[in-house]
A and B are shown apart, each in its own frame.
Chain A
Amino acid sequence: MTSTAGVDSRILKAPHPVPGAPDNWKRFFSFNTDAKVIGIQYIATALFFLLVGGLLAMIMRGELITPEADLVDRTVYNGLYTMHGTIMLFLFIFPVLNGLNNLLIPCMIGAPDMAFPKLNAAAFWMVPVFGVILMASFLVPGGPASSGWWSYPPVSLQNPLGHLINGEALWILAVALSGISSIMGAVNFVTTILRMRAPGMTLGRMPIFCWTALSAQTIQLIGLPALTGGAVMLLFDLAVGTSFYRPEGGGDPVLYQHFFWFYSHPAVYVIILPVFGVFSELFPVYARKPLFGYPFVAGASLVIVGLSLIVWVHHMFPSGVPQWMRDVFMVTTMLIAVPTGIKVFAWLATLWGGKLRLNTAMLFALGGLFNFVFAGVTGIMLATVPVDIHVNNTYFVVGHFHYVIYGAATMGVYAAIYHWFPKFTGHMYYEGLGKLHFLLTFLGTNLNFFPMHPLGLMGMPRRVSSYDPEFAFWNVIASLGAFLLGVSIIPFLLNLVSSWVRGPKSPANPWNAIGLEWLLPSPPPAENFEEHVPTVISGPYGYGTGRPLVEHQDEIERALLKA
């Protein structure tokens, strides 16, 4: 592995170690300011926490395979489900998407790096810090936070041992740090997209992934302060005896629910929008057709941003909100179906009449779209007040959002990892292992999360450590699906590690894709295009049009082939 043959000369003369250069794995454990290193740091950290969160989920499904609370004590179960949700959201899905942002945004827009590289590295290094804080809460007296990832007061303010350092306090601290890290990231991504695009790349020529990242990060900037403020007040109530949310002191526990959902509903769009971006990037490549209706797909993201900020009360229909409020928020929630529908139809029209290549990345994108449409139709059901009143806080909701967050978002993330793996590691992945990973994931997802819908309709509340025997049948199937999902990670990790270590070398553009990142060597040098940033002369996704994307495209491609 010490040979430098075949490594791009720009990598070797880079001022600091970069991915793909020989013998420099240590850079991944350093305060490195290269967005491509940070991107891989984010993704590796997130995948580690995916394993942790997944292990907790499998213990939970082990408990729920029988009706009685018999595998772990109820307090332990409550801690497990709280930590599962918190880890998966704040330590898996947000970081993994920030990893994709770091890898893709600068390369896609032709920027040498992020706008604020040090801020970028600082934002990343907060992730392991609050990860350790959160994990440490398993070790403090009284155990970890156990009031769910919503942490609704007053139950979250109950502190049985009365210690100042308790699981809940560490949980709030970790979530607040996560929020600060995300705000730092968002400032960086938005600035980079708005200020550092290649010459000729107008907003109207920007890849959809960048549009969705811009939309998602705008939500972070608007929404996170509300959550962070709400969390600080919660910490005050817990630690210093204020009464923002304590009814006995004149506080209002429902106020917290507003703060929480004002951010946490838009947060699901922070998650799903970049995945829409991934779908919009991958379908044209593997269908060999332009994205159908690019301006509409781009604009729909902005409409979703606007609507996402005015729907939060749909999480609170049974919280004692007046009827007019229920009606208003139902209508706004319903409206989100329209821009989302525009995107789904655009993808279908892109696939229609294409020349599909079903490699692992494409299979994950198609599987993700399948799951997303299922989650979408149950989402409409949840928007309608009377149906929501029945299934609110039941397993129906748990099924719905796991279809979104695992079925669509995580499968979209897998699609992205496979698709851009050759670009950023310089090695091809193994299709056989990849397809096995897809098959197990798709089956496991549906086995695990579909049964939650009938359970919820029957009236099984979420977050229970025991349940009535009539719910046993579907729970057994869900548990088997969860264990299958656990198994599905094995071929994935095996593929990542073995491909990176000894996979075949990747050419600059293995998928024959159109985009600035594919005009860079694999892996790209530290400063991407350095001083030779190409001038963009047409919109993205010109498959079959024969339109070059940039000036002097032929020369750039010839140079890449020679290298």
Chain B
Amino acid sequence: MTSTPQRFPLSRLIGLALWLGLLTLLSVWMGAQVPRWLPVSASSAAPLVDGLFGFETAVATFVFVGVVSVMVWVVLFNRAEKYDISDAEPIEGNTTLEIIWTVIPLVLVMGIAAYTIQVNREIGLIGPMDHSHAPASASSAAGASVPGGEVQVIARQWSWEFRYPVAGVSSTELHMPIDRRLGLQLESEDVIHGFFVPAFRLKQQVIPGRSITLFITPTRAGRYRLRDSEYSGTWFAANQADVVVESEEAYQDWLRRASRLPLQPGLSEASREYAQQLSGDRPSGYATIAPAPPPLVNVPGSNTLPHDG
């Protein structure tokens, strides 16, 4: 029976070292699995977020499996015999151990925090988390100047509208050029919504009465999902739009062609379902706020095509 941790026999020390080695290997392997759990990485911020998450996954695996292996060990090898009612050896504490397991986690979490603050800075330099909190007094008027961004994103119950004031285009599908930092000016006409594109690893509440500019640099061409991430009422779940990332030429070409198209109702899954309920084709439940009419846009686009993430 070992009475204090200092008097471990050599064989146990070797066993412990082997186990820690295995645990480290497992943790590193788990950290490397992270990309398989996440959507494709399509913005300049995404690799930074994924790198941080991979590191955290490795640390988390080490801590979790480490703790659980102790639990499994005691359950397997420290069980009382069936009729053994005696007590175990009364060890009431060890100040050295207490200091060790206070200081090591402290250093560890502060290390993670320092790493994270650095990632925050890098992402901040690229710009996507930069905010301007000016009250949006005049900006909800169509065609208003856009100080912070090139695209005006208007969230409503329950549709997304994207306006390109310089090109005179509006759409319910967000088009973005690849490898260029694009400012999105986020505004809401009713309640708080959330602008969330999982492939970009970015999320920002869209707050009524504020205009928040979000800078994004897409890095991968494709079609991605934009989801409302802040609960916004009845059709919250259906408040999705697609984001198309394309080459600069294709983007400019799209803007040119779009500007010549006549205005037509944009996409609004909520309005479609609401109309079905009014006509009795779809059962309804409790009372609801009626959806805002679909915005009139040059390009409705699609939100049913297959998306990359």
Contact = CB atoms under 8 A, between A and B. Distances in A.
A293 B232 CA distance: 48
Query: Which of the four size classes fits the interface of chain A?
Result: 35 or more
Residue of A143, A247, A295, A335 contacting most chain B CB atoms (<10 Å): A247
Given A323-B129, A348-B70, A160 B207 contact: no
B236 to A, nearest CB: 7
B156 to A, nearest CB: 13
Given A386-B49, A467-B237, A544-B89, A377 B109 contact: no
A125 interface: no
A318 B68 contact: no
B190 A387 contact: no
Contact of B285 (A73, A158, A393): A73
B210 A292 contact: no
A160 B288 contact: yes
Interface stretch (B14-22, B37-45, B163-171, B246-254): B37-45
Contacts of B49: 386-387, 389-390
A327 interface: yes
Given A75-B285, A76-B286, A357-B80, A294 B92 contact: yes
A54 interface: no
A541 B203 CA distance: 49
Interface string A522-557: 000000000000000000011111000000000000
Contacts of A331: 110, 113
Interface stretch (B71-79, B147-155, B172-180, B259-267): B71-79
Residue of A290, A292, A355, A465 contacting most chain B CB atoms (<10 Å): A355
A320 interface: yes
B203 A389 contact: yes
Interface in B210-240: 210, 212, 225, 227-238, 240
Contacts of A290: 90-93
B197 to A, nearest CB: 8
A287 to B, nearest CB: 7
B92 A461 contact: no
Given A248-B209, A326-B120, A354-B88, A75 B284 contact: yes
Contact of A366 (B71, B85, B201): B71
B37 A292 contact: no
Contact of A143 (B70, B212, B283, B285): B285
Interface of B, secondary structure class, is: mixed
Interface in A241-260: 247-248, 252-254
Contacts of A512: 85
Contact of A468 (B86, B117, B225): B225
A358 interface: yes
A259 to B, nearest CB: 15
Given A320-B204, A354-B88, A386-B123, A370 B71 contact: yes
Contact of B86 (A148, A160, A327, A355): A355
B196 A393 contact: yes
B205 interface: yes
B191 A155 contact: yes
Interface string A311-355: 000000011101100110011001101100110110011011111
Contacts of B209: 247-248, 252-253
B93 A294 contact: yes
B109 A348 contact: no
Given A323-B120, A458-B38, A351 B192 contact: no
A76 B212 CA distance: 32
Contacts of A72: 285
Contacts of A155: 191-192, 231-233
A161 interface: yes
A296 interface: yes
B214 to A, nearest CB: 10
A337 B91 contact: no
A320 B210 contact: yes
B289 A387 contact: no
A428 interface: no
A296 B98 CA distance: 8
Nearest to A147: B231
A61 interface: no
A334 B109 contact: yes
A380 interface: yes
Given A253-B208, A461-B229, A384 B283 contact: no
B71 A348 contact: yes
A79 B106 CA distance: 42
Given A73-B285, A466-B238, A320 B131 contact: yes
A200 interface: no
A247 B227 contact: no
B37 A143 contact: no
Contacts of B98: 293, 296, 342
23 contacts: A143-B285, A148-B231, A247-B208, A253-B209, A287-B74, A289-B91, A293-B98, A294-B93, A323-B124, A330-B117, A342-B98, A342-B102, A349-B91, A353-B74, A355-B86, A377-B61, A380-B109, A381-B56, A381-B57, A384-B113, A386-B116, A386-B201, A393-B231
Interface of A: 69, 72-76, 78-79, 141-144, 146-148, 152, 154-155, 158, 160-161, 247-248, 252-254, 287-296, 318-320, 322-323, 326-327, 330-331, 334-335, 337-338, 341-342, 344-345, 348-349, 351-358, 366, 369-370, 373-374, 376-378, 380-381, 384-387, 389-390, 392-394, 454, 457-459, 461-468, 512, 541-545
